[in-house]
Structure formats: structure tokens, C-alpha cells
Amino acid sequence: MKLLTGNANIGLATAIAGYLDLELTQASVRRFADEEVFVEIHENVRGEDVFVIQSTGFPANDNLMELLICIDALKRSSARRITAVVPYFGYARQDRKPGPRTPISAKLVANLITVAGADRVLSVDLHAGQIQGFFDIPTDNLYAAPVMSADIKARFAGRNIIVVSPDVGGVVRARSLSKRLDNAPLAIVDKRRERPGESEVMNIIGDVAGRFCILVDDIVDSAGTLCNAAAALRAAGAEDVVAYVSHGVLSGGAVARVDGSTLSELVITDSIMPPDAVAGSAKIRLLTIAPLLGEAIKRIADESSVSSLFD
């Protein structure tokens, strides 16, 4: 087994290698003067089971091209099996046609990864589970819920916890976490716009008064929805609000928005290399998923069960 990484999240790749007691495969992933990506592998990978670790967060297109070219280089170097380990699968929010004459970009990216030569895909908390069906190769969708629930139990034991989904679409994810927290009660933030251009109206489904609210979501991008949900929960009488999110995209002024919000804390995983602003935030904390990914990689290489990780 060999591990190869692009430039998207070298810290996570190094941590996974440390968990597996392996060295990262020696390779050059660099740019020509015109920003074309060039990959050169400096070790023999013939007949090897190779895992390419590369999230496709910002800059999404550059990181995606690095992933595709790494896969192509491995395929042309006669690797036996190539697994694309994509902790954060970019373009996942474009998983359907929201209107006429629009693309389904998540399916296009799935096709690109498959045609490049990947034999398997490993990801974490896909925005929509159905994206697994976009691939014609085996695809494992890991869940950060076990890592989150362990952290919540360690830090907030004894609190009057309620798990909250920031929108109706995230109820399944929130319910999964609540089961791991000894069947903690569940609430939902229902949001809608009365008219175009007007701010969202938030309705809370469930009783959050006097409770310690755990907001859970898969992606935090601008952080607008999360911060508005936190404010609505506080207005409904919540004792405190903490958010746990799998993928911290945090684009634009998201970090400043979180710092100025009623959220007590935002916990994100290291599926994406966090933006520099996160280091200066007193409210954002990083949770590693390196052991989760490392164990899944080990089980794939050993041909043992991955799903039993979540039993």
C-alpha cells in the first residue's frame, strides 16, 4: 500500500500516514509558468495499492486537476488499484438541476474521476448520499458523526443537549448524531423567504427553551444560515448554541461572521485545509478525521469491512 497526496491538504495526508505508520510517496506536484499542473512520481508504484489523498476545496478547480493528473500518472505507472480519497467532494452541491439549462456538475466530476482511472472513491459526508450513485465504481461515504459524538460526550457531558438541524434537508444527518448521543431530542430550523429580497423567517420545530443546542451540518460556506439559525435558537430560549460541521469551506467573510454571531463555538473537521483566518478566531475549533480515514484506508487495503466502522 502507498499513500500519495496533492497540495490540497498536506497536513491531513501526513496525519493519515502517521496513523498507518507509512511514509507519503515521494512525488512532485507543481505548476508550469502558465499554471498547468505537472505530476511526477519518484517511486516505483507498479502493482501497488495506491491511495491518492486530495480534497477538492478552494481553489476547487486547481485541486480537482491535481487529483485527476495524479490518478492518470499512477494509471500510466501500472499501479494495481487506485483509490481516490476525497475527504471533501467539491461540486457536491450541484447534484441536480435547480432550473432549466443548468448542469449537474457533481455527476460530471464523478465521470472525470472515473475516466481518469480511479478504481474506487472514498469520501466523507457527501452533501447528498445519492452522489454515490453518480460513480460507476465502488464508493465509500464515511461519516464524521462518530468523531463528533465522541467530542461532544467528552466536552459537554451532563448538559441538557438537543440536536438541531439548520434546515429540513439535514434532518437525517441530525437524527444520526442524536442516536449516538443516547437518543438526544431533535429540533429543526425551518426557514423560508416571504418575498424575494426579504430576509429569511426562521421557525423552530421543537422545544429548545433552556437546552444546550448542538447544530449539525455537512458544509459551512458563508456561515449565514448557521449564524441565523443560532440567533433564532437563542431567541427561542436556548441556553447555549454550538455548531458541529463536517466541512469548513468558510469562504469570504465567514470567519468574521461566526466571530460576531451568537454561536459559542463552531467545530469543523480538517477535511479541508482551513483558511488562514481560522487561526485567529476564538470561536472556531478543528477536529481531526485522520484516524477515521486512516482506519478506512487500512480496511480497504485489507479487504475488510468499512461499514462496521459505524456500528
Tell me if residue 191 is catalytic.
yes
Provide the phi-psi class of 215: left if phi over 0, else alpha when psi is between -120 and 50, else beta: beta
**Distance (Å, rounded) from C-alpha 114 to C-alpha 109?**
9
C-alpha cell at 270: 480538517
What residue numbers does the annotated binding site for D-ribose 5-phosphate cover?
Answer: 193, 217, 221-225
What residue numbers does the annotated binding site for Mg(2+) cover?
Answer: 127, 167
What residue numbers does the annotated binding site cover?
Answer: 34-36, 93-94, 127, 167, 193, 217, 221-225
Helix segments in the chain, DSSP class H: 10-20, 60-75, 105-116, 145-156, 171-180, 224-235, 254-259, 290-301
What residue numbers does the annotated binding site for ATP cover?
Answer: 34-36, 93-94
Give the contacts of 100 (CB within 8 A, at least 6 positions apart): none
- From the list 107, 179, 191, 283, the catalytic residue is 191
| Cis previous bond, 87, omega within 30 | no
Q: Which of 251, 260, 276, 295 is nearest to 93 (CA)?
A: 251
Query: Helices 105-116 and 60-75, interaxial angle, to 10°?
Result: 30
Q: Which positions are catalytic?
A: 191
